[in-house]
């Protein structure tokens, strides 16, 4: 029985939907369905019952899910221990702005329990690099937000956050339940540095205003709103100082908080970190 097939099955069991599991695994649905059928054939049992909205586990599927998850975790620990014995027991985690606080603290305990011999180095980048150092090769894995150019990069979505506009509490729109971008067309908006990923820049810059200040950090954006009433976008969960609030924006898709890694990276520590991150959002 291949570990690869077991990992596919666990993904489908967790998601309850073959399509979502395929997206999580960065593959298409047909080969995933074939892999599950091959596993059922090998075991001689039905693991999943297909429904109109997804799949549900049979009794055999429940038993396999629990055993397979334990086996995969044991396999991951073995790979990491072998890597550690070879002198590779350090992983560098890139974080962007608030992502470490948003999700990192929840991962620490679980990762430390599973990989107590691994040293973790955290590297924080500014808003000009949405891959948090992954694209430049300065980190092994990243906790960041979408959207950005994902060529050569795999991601697992941890959470989706609605987006809003950061405003001073004395702004006449700050008392609203929501606003739209057309209502804010006459305002100055913060700008990200030239050369920033176009997908990222277009999403977070709100409205392109050439005279807006070019800023690199969340703190700089927040202070610009506070002192100069500049407009800036932020997740509605963003922690802000007194005098500011986030008003939900109606015409912007949510941003996804993700764990990201290079698609061709064979580092077992990366796989171990991604697994812990994926487990944390169940």
Q: Which residues contact 66 (CB under 8 A, 6 or more apart)?
A: none
The reply to whether domains 3-86 and 163-253 share a CATH topology is no
Query: In angstroms, rounded to a whole number, what is the distance separating the alpha carbons of residues 196 and 128?
Result: 5
- Burial track 38-73 (b if 16+ CB lie within 10 A, e otherwise): ebbeeeeeebbeeeeebbebeeebeebbeebbebbe
Q: Where are the domains of the chain?
A: 3-86, 88-158+255-282, 163-253
Query: In angstroms, rounded to a whole number, what is the distance separating the alpha carbons of residues 144 and 227?
Result: 27
Closest by CA to 161, choosing from 94, 252, 257, is 257
Q: Nearest 5°: phi and psi at 122?
A: -105, 130
Beta bridge partners of residue 161, listed in sequence order? 255
> Is the distance from CB of 94 to CB of 265 less than 8 angstroms?
no
Length of the chain in terms of residues written: 282
- Cα separation of the two ends of the chain: 26
Instruction: State pLDDT tens for residues 132-164.
Output: 999 988 899 999 999 999 999 999 888 899 999
pLDDT beyond 90 at 73: no
Query: In angstroms, rounded to a whole number, what is the distance separating the alpha carbons of residues 217 and 132?
Result: 12
> Is the distance from CB of 159 to CB of 257 less than 8 angstroms?
yes
Domain 3-86 has CATH 1.10.10.10: yes
pLDDT at 25: 80
Average pLDDT over residues 80-89: 65
Average pLDDT over residues 104-113: 78
Task: Label residue 105 exposed, middle or buried (CB < 10 Å: 0-12, 13-18, 19+).
Answer: exposed
pLDDT beyond 80 at 266: no
Q: Which CATH number fits domain 163-253: 3.40.1400.10, 3.30.470.20, 3.40.190.10, 3.40.47.10?
A: 3.40.190.10
Work out the pLDDT band at 281, boundaries 50, 70, 90: low
Query: In angstroms, rounded to a whole number, what is the distance separating the alpha carbons of residues 48 and 55?
Result: 6
Superfamily of domain 88-158+255-282 in CATH is Periplasmic binding protein-like II (3.40.190.10)
């Amino acid at each position: 029985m291949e570990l690869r097939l077991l990992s596919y099955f666990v993904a489908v069991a967790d998601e309850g939907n073959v399509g979502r599991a395929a997206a999580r695994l960065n593959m298409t649905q047909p080969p995933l369905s074939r892999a599950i059928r091959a596993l059922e054939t090998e075991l001689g049992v039905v693991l999943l019952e297909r429904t109109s909205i997804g799949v549900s586990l049979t009794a055999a599927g429940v038993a396999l899910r629990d055993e397979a998850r334990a086996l995969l975790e044991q396999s991951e620990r073995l790979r990491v221990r072998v890597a550690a014995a070879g002198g590779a027991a350090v992983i560098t985690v890139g974080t962007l702005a608030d992502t470490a606080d948003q999700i990192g603290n929840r991962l620490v305990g679980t990762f430390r329990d599973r990989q107590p011999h691994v040293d973790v180095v955290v590297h924080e980048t500014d808003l000009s690099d949405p891959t948090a150092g992954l694209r430049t090769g300065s980190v092994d894995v990243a906790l960041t937000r979408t959207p950005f150019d994902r060529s050569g990069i795999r991601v697992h979505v941890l959470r989706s956050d609605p987006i809003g506009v950061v405003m001073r509490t004395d702004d006449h729109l700050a008392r609203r339940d929501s606003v739209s971008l057309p209502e804010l067309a006459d305002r100055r908006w913060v700008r990200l540095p030239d050369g920033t990923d176009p997908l990222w820049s277009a999403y977070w810059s709100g409205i392109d205003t050439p005279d807006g200040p070019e800023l690199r950090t969340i703190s700089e954006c927040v202070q610009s709103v506070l002192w100069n009433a500049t407009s800036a976008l932020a997740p509605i969960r963003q922690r802000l100082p007194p005098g500011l609030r986030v008003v939900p924006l109606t015409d912007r898709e949510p941003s996804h908080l993700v764990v990201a890694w290079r698609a061709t990276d064979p580092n077992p520590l990366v796989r171990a970190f991604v697994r812990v991150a994926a487990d944390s959002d169940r």
